[in-house]
Amino acid sequence: MLLAANWKMYGSPSQLAAYCEELLPQLEGCAHQVVLCPPFPLLPQAVMLCAGSELAVGAQNCHWAREGAFTGEVSPNLLAEMGVSWVIIAHSERRKLFGETDDTALARAKAAQEAGLSVIFCVGETLAEREGGETLSVLQRQTAVLAGLDPQKLVIAYEPVWAIGTGHNATPAQVAEAHAFIHERLQELTGQAVPVLYGGSVKPQNAGELLATPGVAGALVGGASLDAGSFFAIIQAA
């Protein structure tokens, strides 16, 4: 299983130091892949603290160019050279608040893979789309761009937008249906099996049930990953 912590725009150097001090000893011998994605400025510290541990480091976004006149953007090659090994692409907050489209998300994911990063590519429907019976057609559209990616460096995160940060996780039946659909699509598009994570209000209390749902290869965790104890409880439930 892969368990990824998305800190979003939270955290500080002192919080990161305390977090690693608590979590890293607990992860010794851990059978799962665990990734911490803090904000950009904390990445060098995270890489340093996590060196030689079971905790890999990921970014929350990257640009599609190696370098250039792109003020405020971050190069995937720079991330790779710094020791970052994962990147989250197309998170729904990027899609909704920062104009991310299927095409720009694909460009970022391609560049990230070319730089040697593994990609957690997020897909998922809004509440209006689910209520309108459009869930599978949204997933069809969002995954359509993924054919050109390297399936060996790709993980999909199914994150229904209405479940992110709301405290209302999708039911195991909803997760199973979406995951089965995404698995089939990725097999068709890339010719290989690609792991699919669930994300959306995962917490210690629901992690066991969600992670035991057929087709679930792990979780992308936002709010509950900010506390080392809660995140470790989720890892233990896997």
Residue ranges of the annotated binding site for substrate are: 6-8, 165, 201, 222-223
In angstroms and rounded to an integer, the radius of gyration of the C-alpha atoms of the chain is 17
95 or 183: CB nearest ligand PEP: 95
CA terminus-to-terminus distance, the chain = 7
* Catalytic site includes residue 73: no
Contact 50, 60 (CB under 8 A): no
- The catalytic residue among 100, 159, 179, 183 is 159
Catalytic-labelled residue, pool 63, 91, 179, 183: 91
Strands 196-199 and 55-59: unpaired
CB closer to ligand PEP out of 77 and 238? 238
* Residue 187 in tokens: 């097999």
Q: How many Å apart are CA 118 and CA 98, to the nearest integer?
A: 22
What is the closest distance, in whole angstroms, from the C-beta atom of residue 62 to ligand PEP in the complex? 16
> Is 22 among the residues known to form the active site?
no
* Contact status, residue 226 vs residue 7, Cβ threshold 8 Å: yes
Q: How far is the CB of 72 from ligand PEP (least distance, A)?
A: 21
- Token look-up 């998922």 returns 124
Which residue number, 149 or 221, has a Cβ lying nearer to ligand PEP? 221
Binding positions for ligand PEP, rule: CB under 6 A: 6, 8, 91, 159, 164-165, 199-202, 220-224
Q: Which is nearer to ligand PEP, 77 or 226 (CB)?
A: 226
Tell me the residue type at 216: V
Closest CB 164 distance from ligand PEP, rounded Å: 4
Question: How far apart (Å, rounded) are the C-alpha atoms in residues 129 and 227?
Answer: 32
Structure tokens at 135: 């869930």
Q: Residue 130: how many CA atoms within 13 Å on its side-chain side?
A: 14
**Closest approach of ligand PEP to the CB of residue 81, in Å:** 26
Q: What is the DSSP letter of 74?
A: -
Task: Kindly tell me which of 113 and 201 has the beta carbon lying closer to ligand PEP.
Answer: 201
Q: Could you tell me which residues are annotated as the binding site?
A: 6-8, 165, 201, 222-223
> Which residue number is nearest to ligand PEP in terms of Cβ?
222
Rounded least distance, CB 52 to ligand PEP, Å: 27
193 with 128: CB under 8 angstroms? Answer: no
CB 90, CB 124: distance < 8 Å: no
Q: Could you give the residue numbers annotated as active site?
A: 91, 159
